[in-house]
A = this chain, B = another copy of it.
Amino acid sequence: MSISYNPHISIDCVVFGFDYKELKVLLVEREVWDKKKNKLIKKDLKLPGSLIRKREELDHAASRVLQEFTGLKNIYLKQFDVFSNPKRIHNAADIQWLHEHTGIEIEHIISVAYYSLVKLDEASPYENSLKTKAHWVNINNIPKMIFDHNEILDKALVALRNELRTKPVGFELLPKKFTIRQLQNLYEVILGINLDNRNFRKKLLKQKYIIPLEEKEQLVNHKPATLYYYDQKLYNKINEGNQFFSI
């Protein structure tokens, strides 16, 4: 048996950023040049990604790419799917661009996809360290990207929403002391739905690990709301008991 076929391997990263109001995605520019005329033909957007390098581990490639575009190390990335459809790169212009960009004929790229979620508040290093060709784009304004990058993004969003619905990841994206309005806003923005205020408040206040403080919010031009904090230890304790048989 002789098998001489090997596709190329890449990684692609879906980095979600939340700034308390909007959910954004980190996209990078791709430029297609007419080399003979030295003229820019078109500029479009893609997910940050790369073919892996010689003897490179996938997680390493993902970190390398993120560092390249954000200037930052140690962004937590979670591998969530592998895209291996041989037709995922079929557009003639894209194949041509790949050829020019890599210097080799590429027929089939299998891409291992990662996602992560970062806080984009004023103190965030993510907001300020982006390289010139990287942008935060609102989730509702994502253009048609190259290859199957829209599909990869859609699947990452499904994975993120599933995590948000079933795990307390949302609190990592809020200030330590938060209002119920802020928490509801986070759920509405990431899940892409409107929630009934009264129901949300009612369900929320049933959770014992969301604890009201004596403090209220400050410097707002409406009636200040109560601040809450999330008790991770209490959540873990309650959750242990809820886990199926808590064996």
Contacts and interface: CB of A to CB of B under 8 A. Distances in A.
A242 interface: yes
Copies in the complex: 2
A160 interface: no
Contact of A9 (B51, B110, B166): B110
| Secondary structure class of chain A's binding surface, majority of residues | loop
Nearest to A245: B203
A195 interface: yes
Contact of A86 (B1, B56, B59, B243): B56
Interface in A73-127: 79, 81-82, 84-86, 101-104, 107-108, 110, 112
Sort chain A's interface into a size bin. Answer: 35 or more
Contacts of A7: 6, 9, 52, 55
A245 B56 contact: no
Contacts of A102: 1-4
A187 interface: yes
Contacts of A166: 243-244
